[in-house]
Amino acid sequence: MGDGEFAARAQQFADTIYRIAFHTCKNAADAEDIVQNVLLKLYRADKEFESEEHLRRWVIRVAVNESKKLVCSAWFRRSVPLEEYAESLEFSTPEESALFLAVMELPKKYRVPIYLYYYEGYPAKEAAALCGIKVSTMQTRLQRARERLKKKLTDEKER
Amino acid sequence: MGRNVGGLDRELFQKTFSKVKASPKMYQEVIRMTEQRKPKRFIVRRLVVAALVLALAAALAMGANAATNGEFFNHVVTFVTTTVDGEMEIEVTADLGAITEDGMVFTVRDTGDGRKSYITYRDKNGNIITEEMDMDKEITIEKDGAVYGGGAGQDSAASQPNVEAESAQRAASNAG
């Protein structure tokens, strides 16, 4: 991949990788480390991509794997209060802020599936492939994540 | 508000998480890191240029360039670059058949710290000459064979010390 193309691809995918990483590790510093690792892998990748979608899936898959690796490693020590980070995002409505915090409060195994399904728009089958899990597992995780989110957001409204 | 999928508003989800973004600083850092991954190529380019300058200087010292009417570079036939034990080595073999009976081989070696470089060549008397090269010079070789060089951060050829002259002097002293 040439420098010009890489710079364009880095810009194109940096936010997607960052969101996946953030859903896994819940902090900006680690998420940025993961973005760097994934983009450097992309830079070094001696691979022909059949299509834009093929490239996109490759990047997401690597991002999911790199995120898992960091979380499992001894490096995963840093932690910044989520509320502090949420404030920096300057959400325009309380609903956005509540949804962000509710998603981040989900157990780790639900966060990336819910992101891939609701943000990236991948159906359960494809999201399962990207996460390296069974379709039935993905469906269960999505269902449980939705139930938890609905409950959490309803409780928030009632307060 | 938006499309409700499985009890969750997808548009609200997308609007919320579109604000979660990597910092521009991080993006710049990645680009910088990829640029840093190419020092060898950069060194090779600079070493080739340095070797060419020395080749030209040696030729000038022998009056060869004048004899060939500035066509010296037309006689440079091979460039070989190899990395041995972390050291960058370049051989520039100049076909000087039109100039002298013997060909000349120039070898430029970089120590790897990016600061000290040495050029080794065999002069026309068969002596092996090794010299430290100042690799901090920006050197430009024009198509017509004119050579300009100077310190980093200076871009005017007119304001630069002439590497051609410096190198010619150095080569002449070695050859002599």
Measured between CB atoms, does B153 come within 8 Å of chain A? Answer: no
Contact A17 B22 (CB under 8 A): yes
Name A159's Cβ contacts closer than 8 Å, sequence gap at least 6. Answer: none
Contacts of A2 in chain B (CB under 8 A): none
pLDDT in tens, A60-79: 999 999 998 876 554 555 56
Of A31, A36, A99, the CB nearest to B13: A99
For residue A133, which phi and psi values (nearest 5 degrees)? -130, 170
Task: Show the DSSP H helices in chain B as ranges.
Answer: 10-17, 24-36, 39-61, 64-67, 163-175
Of B6, B7, B31, the CB nearest to A10: B31
A72 & A61 share domain: yes
CA–CA gap between residue A11 and residue B174 (Å, rounded): 53
Using pLDDT thresholds of 50, 70 and 90, give the confidence band for residue B31.
confident
Closest-CA distance, A50 to chain B, in angstroms, reads 24
A28, A55, A80 — which closes off a domain? A80
Interface A:B, Cβ pairs < 8 A: 77
CA–CA gap between residue A153 and residue A98 (Å, rounded): 7
A23 & A76 share domain: yes
Determine the pLDDT at residue B131.
60
CATH value at residue A45? 1.10.1740
Least confident of A20-34, A53-67, A73-87: A73-87
Q: Is the dihedral of CA B17, B18, B19, B22 positive or negative?
A: positive
A157 & A92 share domain: yes
CATH value at residue A96? 1.10.10.10
Count up the domains in chain A and report the number.
2
- What DSSP element (H or E) covers A9? helix A3-25
Contact criterion met (CB below 8 Å) for A112 and A24 = yes
Domain extents in chain B: 36-175
Determine the pLDDT at residue B158.
28
A63 & A91 share domain: no
Using pLDDT thresholds of 50, 70 and 90, give the confidence band for residue A53.
very high
A86 & A73 share domain: no
Contacts of B23 in chain A (CB under 8 A): 28, 32
A24, A45, A80 — which closes off a domain? A80
Contact A96 B16 (CB under 8 A): yes
A21 & A88 share domain: no
pLDDT in tens, B127-169: 666 666 554 444 343 444 444 443 322 222 322 333 333 444 4
A73 & A112 share domain: no
pLDDT in tens, A84-114: 888 888 899 999 999 999 999 999 999 999 9
The string of DSSP letters for B57-93 reads HHHHHTTHHHHTTT-GGGGEEEEEEEEETTEEEEEEE
Listed in order, strand segments (DSSP E) in A34-142 are none
pLDDT in tens, A107-151: 999 999 999 999 999 999 999 999 999 999 999 999 999 999 999
A3 & A76 share domain: yes
DSSP B119: E
A122 & A153 share domain: yes
Determine the pLDDT at residue B119.
54
Least confident of A55-59, A113-117, A127-131, B97-101: B97-101
Least confident of A19-23, A48-52, B115-119: B115-119
Determine the pLDDT at residue B86.
42
Which of A36-45, B88-97, B127-136 is the most confident on average? Answer: A36-45
Q: What average pLDDT does range B99-128 have in this prediction?
A: 49
ipTM reported for the complex, 2 dp: 0.90
**Which residue in chain B has the smallest CA separation from A42?**
B34
Between B26 and B117, name the one with better pLDDT: B26
A26 & A69 share domain: yes
A90 & A159 share domain: yes
Amino acid at A17: I
Measured between CB atoms, does A151 come within 8 Å of chain B? Answer: no
Name A111's Cβ contacts closer than 8 Å, sequence gap at least 6. Answer: A23, A24, A103, A104, A145
A80, A113, A142 — which closes off a domain? A80
A70 & A104 share domain: no
- Residue ranges making up the domain that contains A3: 1-80
Measured between CB atoms, does A80 come within 8 Å of chain B? Answer: no
Res A43 pLDDT > 80: yes
Measured between CB atoms, does B12 come within 8 Å of chain A? Answer: yes
